[in-house]
Amino acid sequence: MSSDYVLKLDNVWKKYSKTEFFHKSVREEITGLFSRKKDGALTKDEFWALKAINLEFKRGDVIGLYGSNGAGKTTILKIISSITYPTTGSVTVNTSVAPLIEVGAGFHPDLTGRENIYVNGTIIGMEIKEIRAKMPDIIAFSELSDFIDMPVKKYSSGMYLRLGFAVAVNSSAGIMLFDEIMSVSDGAFQQKCINKIKELKQDSRTIVMVSHNLSLLQQTADKIYLIKDSTAVPMQAGDI
pLDDT tens, position by position, 15-62: 998 876 555 555 555 555 555 445 567 777 899 999 999 999 999 999
Contact 95, 176 (CB under 8 A): no
The mean of the pLDDT values for the chain is 87
Q: In this predicted model, which residue has the larger pLDDT, 83 or 134?
A: 134
d(CA 53, CA 30): 24
Is the pTM higher than 0.85? The answer reads no
Write out the H or E segment, with its range, that includes residue 158: helix 157-169
* pLDDT (0 to 100) of residue 14: 95
* pLDDT (0 to 100) of residue 59: 94
Q: Where does the pLDDT of residue 1 fall: very low under 50, low under 70, confident under 90, or very high at 90 and above?
A: very low
* pLDDT (0 to 100) of residue 34: 56
Average pLDDT, integer, range 164-168: 92
* pLDDT (0 to 100) of residue 216: 85
Domains (ranges, CATH) in the chain?
61-88+96-239 (3.40.50.300)
Longest dimension (CA), the chain: 55
Contact 210, 168 (CB under 8 A): no
d(CA 232, CA 40): 19
The tens digit of pLDDT for each residue in 82-105 reads 989 999 999 999 999 998 887 667
Contact 19, 45 (CB under 8 A): yes
pLDDT above 70 as % of the chain: 86
Q: b vs e for 211-234, b when ≥16 Cβ sit within 10 Å of the residue's Cβ? A: beebebbeebbeebbbbeebbbee
pLDDT of 66 higher than 60: yes
